[in-house]
Amino acid sequence: MITTIGGGESSMGSAVPRKERLYLQDEAERRIQNRLSRLEGQVRGIKKMLAHHESCDDILVQVAALKQAVNAVAVELLQAHMETCVLERVEVGEGKEALESLKGALSKVLRHI
């Protein structure tokens, strides 16, 4: 099932288009939320390592793992984006818009890897 969000303000303060828009499937959103929760735990762990003056090498290993985990969130979100937003636009005959949406999303992610 695809969840839609109506017009109005989002919780992040940015305006949402007036017409209803597609959003992630519930399962995809749950998986991303879980990954983000694990990221929060990893950050807390790294902060503790710093506070306990653990070795730089050990901290760097954890920072590298954190970076990989952030990349995994981006991959999960891109997959969900393709399965909802992009696919739905293709199915209603808006293939060009879907392609532009996907290109924009990929560009944003790949620029920061």
The full set of domains in the chain, from first to last, is 24-110 (1.20.58.1000)
DSSP line for 25-58: EHHHHHHHHHHHHHHHHHHHHHHHHHHTT--HHH
| Mean predicted lDDT score pLDDT of the chain | 83
Closest CA to 77 of 67, 66, 86: 86
CA distance 28 to 6: 20
Q: How confident is the model at residue 21 (pLDDT cuts 50, 70, 90)?
A: low
Asked whether residue 15 carries a pLDDT value surpassing 80, the answer given is: no
Q: Is the Cβ–Cβ distance between 33 and 44 less than 8 Å?
A: no
Closest CA to 86 of 24, 8, 15, 20: 24
Task: Look at the pTM and tell me if it is higher than 0.75.
Answer: no
**Residue 20, pLDDT score:** 55
Mean pLDDT, residues 93-105? 90
Q: How confident is the model at residue 101 (pLDDT cuts 50, 70, 90)?
A: confident
Q: Give the model confidence (pLDDT) of 48-87 as tens digits.
A: 999 999 999 999 999 999 999 999 999 999 999 898 888 8
**Residue 3, pLDDT score:** 42
Is the model more confident about 13 or about 79? 79
